[in-house]
Amino acid sequence: MISVLIPVYNYNIKPLVENLTFQLNKVNIRFEIVCIDDASKRYISENECIKSVSSVRLINLEKNIGRSKIRNLLAEKSTFDWLLFLDADVLPKSENFILNYINCIQSNRASVYCGGVVYEKTKPTPEKVLRWIYGRKREEIATSKRSINAYNNFFGANFLINKAVFESCSFNNSITKYGYEDVLFAEDLKTKKIGVAHIDNPVFHLGMEDNLVFLEKTKQALENLNTLCEQNLLKGDSIKILKTFQIVKAYKLNWLFRIFYIKFHKLFEYNLKSNKPNLFLFDFYKLTYFCFIN
């Protein structure tokens, strides 16, 4: 009935697999959990132990293929008609997480369901606070608000999709670098008029990167966004930073924002790596960096 698909990279997935296995057995359905490790360097032995769990497969890749290709490969390896994609660094919030998705399948009201993401209320250590604040303010969105802009609020860390639908609009294999592959996938769903239903069935996002790592990943994502725009893969109608950049460029002020990045990025980063990072400054930092690389 359902294939749970988990792309893995340098993360211990044993707690997630144990949680899911317990819930899946409790609802008494046909299932499998397929995990593909994208050439990780860490947690190798910890993850190997899940191979002994019934209905769980772990496939280890020798070469890293990236976030888009690995999701498509997971779908190729799946058996059942419904695919539940979960990131490795999440954990279901509810004990009825799987049951909620089974009810969605039985209701037959959509082909794609997004469950959402939440964050722990306890503030982490200072070196991880930027990712936590960003997640709580920008990614932890109520179901009612997510539903208003269903495609804009698509989040690839926790979604259920019919396999036949996924095969008609899989992730773009040309994307090998980090960032915005979810946005491109959601735009494809929108173009093909495939409805997305948002439900209240979140996972905790547990993988809190250090502030410096998060900033570097943010810049990598912006570089990938720039590449996707150059290749005309993304139009940017749903991407706030692109719309803002287009306004700045129309007024021929992008050179000024570029100078801001060159002159002040160290000062911006000083705040963003502090215990009280300013998200408005973070947005400005991203815009100046995008002008710098564009």
Structure tokens, 286: 């991203």
Instruction: Determine the average pLDDT of the residues in 191-201.
Output: 96
- Looking at the chain, list the stretches that DSSP marks H as alpha helix, in order from N- to C-terminal side: 14-27, 44-48, 67-77, 97-107, 129-134, 143-148, 163-168, 181-191, 211-230, 240-250, 254-272, 279-293
Nearest to 59 by CA among 81, 89, 86, 38: 38
Give, in order, the Cα–Cα distances in Å from 257 to each of 127, 280, 283.
Answer: 27, 15, 12
User: What per-residue confidence (pLDDT) applies to 176?
Assistant: 80
Taking the C-alpha atoms of residue 23 and residue 163, their distance in angstroms, rounded to an integer, is: 21
Residues belonging to the chain: 294
* pLDDT-based confidence at residue 193 (cuts at 50, 70, 90): very high
Instruction: Determine the average pLDDT of the residues in 272-277.
Output: 95
Residue percentage of the chain with pLDDT more than 90: 92
**C-alpha gyration radius of the chain:** 20
**Same domain membership, residue 186 and residue 78:** yes
Q: What's CA 224's distance to the chain center, in Å?
A: 15
User: What per-residue confidence (pLDDT) applies to 233?
Assistant: 87
User: What per-residue confidence (pLDDT) applies to 175?
Assistant: 85
**Same domain membership, residue 244 and residue 102:** no
**Same domain membership, residue 148 and residue 250:** no
User: What per-residue confidence (pLDDT) applies to 238?
Assistant: 75
DSSP three-state, residue 129: helix
Domain termination residue (choose one: 190, 207, 224) = 207
Give the pTM.
0.95
Nearest to 37 by CA among 15, 83, 6, 78: 6
**Same domain membership, residue 83 and residue 146:** yes
How many domains would you assign to the chain?
2
* Residue 54 main-chain phi, psi, to 5 deg: -60, 140
**Using one digit for the tens of pLDDT, what is the confidence trace for 127-164?**
999 999 999 999 999 999 999 999 999 999 999 999 99
**Same domain membership, residue 158 and residue 72:** yes
User: What per-residue confidence (pLDDT) applies to 234?
Assistant: 84
Structural domain harbouring 241:
212-293
Q: Would you say residue 196 has pLDDT above 90? A: yes
**Same domain membership, residue 13 and residue 141:** yes
Average pLDDT over the chain reads 95
Residues β-bridged to residue 86: 158
Tokens 């966004």 sit on residue: 225
**Same domain membership, residue 223 and residue 199:** no
**Same domain membership, residue 259 and residue 162:** no
* Residue 152 main-chain phi, psi, to 5 deg: -65, -30
Domain termination residue (choose one: 207, 234, 263) = 207
**Same domain membership, residue 199 and residue 137:** yes
**Using one digit for the tens of pLDDT, what is the confidence trace for 20-78?**
999 999 998 999 999 999 999 999 999 999 999 989 999 999 999 999 999 999 999 99
* Residue 58 main-chain phi, psi, to 5 deg: -120, 120
Domain termination residue (choose one: 150, 172, 207) = 207
**Same domain membership, residue 138 and residue 57:** yes
User: What per-residue confidence (pLDDT) applies to 235?
Assistant: 74
Task: Tell me if 179 sits within 8 A of 94, measured CB to CB.
Answer: no
**Same domain membership, residue 202 and residue 238:** no
To the nearest 10°, the Cα dihedral for 239, 240, 241, 243? 90
**Same domain membership, residue 8 and residue 115:** yes
Burial of 101 (0-12, 13-18, 19+ CB in 10 A): buried
Taking the C-alpha atoms of residue 8 and residue 66, their distance in angstroms, rounded to an integer, is: 10
Domain of residue 167, CATH code: 3.90.550.10
Which residues lie below 8 Å from residue 57, measured CB to CB, with a gap of 6+?
32, 33, 34, 35, 51, 77
**Using one digit for the tens of pLDDT, what is the confidence trace for 90-115?**
999 999 999 999 999 999 999 999 99
Q: Would you say residue 265 has pLDDT above 80? A: yes
Taking the C-alpha atoms of residue 148 and residue 150, their distance in angstroms, rounded to an integer, is: 6
Taking the C-alpha atoms of residue 112 and residue 189, their distance in angstroms, rounded to an integer, is: 9
